Amino acid sequence: MTDLSKETLLFTISVRTWAARKKAAGAANKIIHDAGAVDGALRATKSLLPGAREHDAVMKSAGRLRTYVYENTLPWMDGIRILKSSGYLNFTAGLRTLKAEHERNVDDFLNAYDTLINDAQVSLSSLFVADDYPITSRLRERFAVETRFMPVPSVGDWRVELNAETISDLRRDVETQLKASQAIAMKDVFDRVFEVVQTAYERLKDPDAIFRDSLVENATKLCGILPTLNITNDHRLDQLSKQIMSTLGKHNPSTLRKDPVVRKNTAAQMKDVMQKMGALYRNQNGISHGSA
């Protein structure tokens, strides 16, 4: 097991949101009654702010925050993420940008909130219930974003007054937990690589298949952050990244669409990467991929 305590950081994020939705039991019951259906046959949910662009913007920026964290970190345990400390500055810079954007969207929404409620009263008609809407002074906390960095625990770091046998048992338990978390984290990053390669292969092997520019862009983006995600400094992951960038990553998407020879060769190279992953990582450290 790699000692991660000196080269990695743990990170948690909580992005709270107010969905602006409410169960509409009365409306559901009326529909059930009119249809002659049995009780409980339908459940209805109403949008409290239908068509509110300001609220949509908040929900989307919250989603971008979560996506950014999931893309740039790996799962550890119980909602905790992990990344290499060498990627801390780049990660936090991107996080600050997205968090600032989200806070601006929240401000815009709160400034428009009273107007949006008035609009909703017209749009919802008899479905409007004033008590469904939180007061403005308490609404901001519904969109709170909380982040926290923590050190990775070290197996040998026990400063407690217990007998040697008990401490030894505790160390074994922690080591087991760390091994399991490390395996989960590394499986996640290899799964990401395999998914990108497999998607490229499936699209490129069929000369008539349509694909978006994101086919190449996603591969390039992933390879760019792999150094931060490679928490165990696995040289095999570095080799895969180099092979992807020297094959799929070097081509413009339009070239892959227009040049059948380049497309066919790149598909073959992606198949080669998949087969290597199947051979090298099957049943190793919890990583298992079938070959193409």
The mean predicted confidence, pLDDT, of the chain is 86
Percent of the chain with pLDDT over 70: 81
Answer with the one of 106, 125, 151 that is the final residue of a domain.
Answer: 151
Structural domain of 119 = 8-151
Q: Give residue 279's pLDDT band: very low, low, confident or very high (50, 70, 90).
A: confident
pLDDT tens per residue, range 116-128: 999 999 998 888 9
pLDDT tens per residue, range 78-129: 889 999 999 999 999 999 999 999 999 999 999 999 999 999 999 988 889 8
Residue 73 belongs to some domain of the structure: yes
Q: Which residues contact 240 (CB under 8 A, 6 or more apart)?
A: 193, 273, 276, 277
Report the C-alpha gap between 149 and 10 in whole angstroms. 6
**Do the strands 74-77 and 21-23 form a parallel or antiparallel pair, or are they unpaired?**
unpaired
Report the C-alpha gap between 84 and 54 in whole angstroms. 36
Count the residues in the chain. Answer: 292
pLDDT of residue 114: 96
Query: What number of CA atoms fall less than 13 Å from residue 161's CA on the CB side?
Result: 0
Strand partners, 13: 147
The alpha-helical segments, DSSP class H, found in the chain are 25-35, 53-72, 88-124, 136-139, 164-204, 214-229, 235-246, 253-258, 260-281
Q: Give residue 24's pLDDT band: very low, low, confident or very high (50, 70, 90).
A: low
170 shares its domain with 89: no
141 shares its domain with 190: no
Helix 164-204 and helix 235-246: axis angle, to 10°? 10
pLDDT of residue 33: 54
- Amino acid identity of residue 279, one-letter, is A
25 shares its domain with 147: yes
pLDDT of residue 46: 84
Phi, psi of 247 (to 5 degrees): -120, -80
pLDDT of residue 160: 47
Instruction: Give residue 201's region: left, alpha or beta (phi > 0; psi -120 to 50).
Output: alpha
Residue 66 belongs to some domain of the structure: yes
pLDDT tens per residue, range 150-183: 988 765 555 445 456 655 666 677 677 788 888 8
Residue 2 belongs to some domain of the structure: no
Residue 157 belongs to some domain of the structure: no
Answer with the one of 129, 151, 173 that is the final residue of a domain.
Answer: 151
133 shares its domain with 240: no
pLDDT of residue 155: 57
pLDDT for 137 beyond 80: yes
pLDDT for 288 beyond 50: no
Determine the average pLDDT of the residues in 222-231: 94
What is the total count of domains within the chain?
2
Residue 1 belongs to some domain of the structure: no
pLDDT of residue 207: 93
- Name which of 153, 175, 15, 7 is nearest 83 in CA terms: 7
**Do the strands 74-77 and 45-47 form a parallel or antiparallel pair, or are they unpaired?**
unpaired
Predicted TM-score (pTM) of this structure: 0.81
Report the C-alpha gap between 241 and 220 in whole angstroms. 9
pLDDT for 214 beyond 70: yes
Phi, psi of 75 (to 5 degrees): -70, 145
Determine the average pLDDT of the residues in 266-277: 94
pLDDT for 283 beyond 50: no
20 shares its domain with 68: yes
Query: What number of CA atoms fall less than 13 Å from residue 172's CA on the CB side?
Result: 6
pLDDT for 285 beyond 50: no
